[in-house]
């Protein structure tokens, strides 16, 4: 069993999407939550009860989950994200993604940028394969660099040699520190071996490809969340991505590491709920039409 809301996820099921909560608002916002490498949908457990009750919430068990789908790395991550998005009836309104899941989401958005900007607005009009229902994106601990020259041998060495330490942090945070240090280390080593060399290479290849993403064409409101103590996805990465997106806000949480939704679920939920409210207000204003100027008949 794993974190898929008590369901047994078999290796032959690469993507399993589940509605974990109905919204109270009828046809309210639909949230789809995507986890990072070697994690699972239980990454979001502390967040779920704090999200706006009007939101309908979906989670995805992706093929790079902790239990793993054999040879998932042979398929571009964008395809797996597309499958998850397509599994949500009507499509998600807001996509929330963490770590490698954030990189996969950006890769999928890049493939979906097929439409031209809407006339007179400059905003992205998704093409036939685009995310038609999507209105906003939340990226937690994204990996991103703006230029190919920003990668060097030191970057590769760091992420390779610190990979096990990052996995160990995930074990520690999600167990709330209840496990002894030696047990955390052994669990992290087992997860590392399950991910394998090919899985790590798929992660780093996705990272290496970020300078080629057509971020200026992604005309959606983005909310980026970074932990000041993140040893994996640096805050500098999130700042660089914020600068490359047309409509993005960055929140850096002091004293937080790679798992902000676990370490500060209340703060994280407040940020997501704020974005959802802003999107709702924007939609309501569009439906009501332009506001008359003072003195207009």
Residue 218's pLDDT band, with cuts at 50, 70 and 90, is: very high
How many structural domains comprise the chain? 1
pLDDT tens-digit map of 107-142: 999 988 754 444 444 444 444 334 568 999 999 999
Q: Is residue 152 one of the residues assigned to a domain?
A: yes
Least confident of 11-15, 182-186, 196-200, 287-291: 287-291
Domain that holds residue 219: 16-281
Task: Kindly report the CATH number assigned to the domain that includes residue 72.
Answer: 3.40.50.1820
Q: Is residue 236 one of the residues assigned to a domain?
A: yes
pLDDT tens-digit map of 143-165: 999 999 999 999 999 999 888 88
**pLDDT value, residue 6:** 41
**pLDDT value, residue 286:** 53
Q: How many residues does the chain have?
A: 297
Measured CA to CA, the distance from residue 92 to residue 33 in angstroms comes to 10
In the chain, DSSP finds a helix count (H) and a strand count (E) of 8, 7
Q: Is residue 97 one of the residues assigned to a domain?
A: yes
**pLDDT value, residue 291:** 40
pLDDT tens-digit map of 48-82: 999 999 999 999 999 999 877 889 999 999 999 99
**How does DSSP assign 196-238, residue by residue?**
HHHHHHHHHHHHHTGGGS-GGG--S-EEEEEETT-SSS-HHHH
Measured CA to CA, the distance from residue 243 to residue 222 in angstroms comes to 11
Q: Is residue 5 one of the residues assigned to a domain?
A: no
**pLDDT value, residue 131:** 57
**pLDDT value, residue 70:** 87
Mean pLDDT value of segment 37-50 = 94
Residue 12's pLDDT band, with cuts at 50, 70 and 90, is: low
| pLDDT over 50 at 239, yes or no | yes
Of the candidates 203, 183, 184, the residue with the CA atom closest to the CA atom of residue 195: 203
| pLDDT over 50 at 4, yes or no | no
Q: Is residue 124 one of the residues assigned to a domain?
A: yes
Q: Quick one: 176 exposed, middle or buried, by C-beta within 10 A (0-12, 13-18, 19+)?
A: exposed
**pLDDT value, residue 193:** 83
Q: Is residue 7 one of the residues assigned to a domain?
A: no
**pLDDT value, residue 293:** 38
Q: Is residue 120 one of the residues assigned to a domain?
A: yes
Q: Is residue 80 one of the residues assigned to a domain?
A: yes
Average pLDDT, the chain: 85
């Amino acid at each position: 069993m794993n974190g898929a809301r008590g369901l047994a996820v078999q290796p032959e099921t690469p993507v399993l999407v589940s509605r974990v909560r109905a919204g109270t608002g009828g046809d309210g916002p639909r949230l789809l939550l995507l986890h990072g490498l070697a994690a699972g949908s239980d990454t979001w457990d502390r967040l779920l009860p704090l999200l706006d009750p009007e939101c309908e919430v979906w989670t995805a068990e992706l093929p790079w989950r902790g239990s793993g789908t054999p040879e998932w790395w042979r398929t571009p991550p964008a395809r797996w994200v597309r499958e998850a998005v397509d599994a949500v009836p009507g499509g998600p309104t807001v996509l929330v993604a963490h770590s490698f899941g954030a990189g996969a989401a950006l890769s999928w958005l890049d493939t979906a940028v097929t439409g031209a900007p809407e006339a007179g607005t400059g905003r992205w009009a998704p093409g036939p394969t685009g995310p038609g229902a999507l209105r906003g994106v939340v990226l937690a601990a994204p990996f991103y660099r703006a230029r190919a020259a920003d990668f060097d041998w030191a970057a590769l060495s760091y992420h390779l040699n610190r990979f096990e330490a990052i996995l160990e942090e995930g074990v520690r945070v999600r167990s709330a520190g209840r496990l002894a240090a030696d047990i955390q280390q052994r669990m992290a080593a087992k997860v590392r071996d399950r991910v394998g060399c090919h899985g790590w290479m798929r992660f780093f290849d996705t990272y290496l490809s970020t300078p080629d993403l057509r971020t200026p064409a992604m005309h959606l409101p983005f909310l980026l969340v970074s932990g000041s103590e993140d040893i994996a996805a640096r805050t500098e990465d999130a700042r660089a991505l914020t600068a490359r997106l047309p409509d993005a806000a960055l929140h850096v949480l002091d004293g937080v590491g790679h798992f902000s939704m676990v370490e500060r679920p209340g703060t994280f939920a407040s940020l997501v709920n704020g974005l959802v409210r802003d999107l709702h207000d924007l939609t309501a204003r569009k439906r009501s039409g332009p506001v008359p100027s003072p003195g207009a008949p």
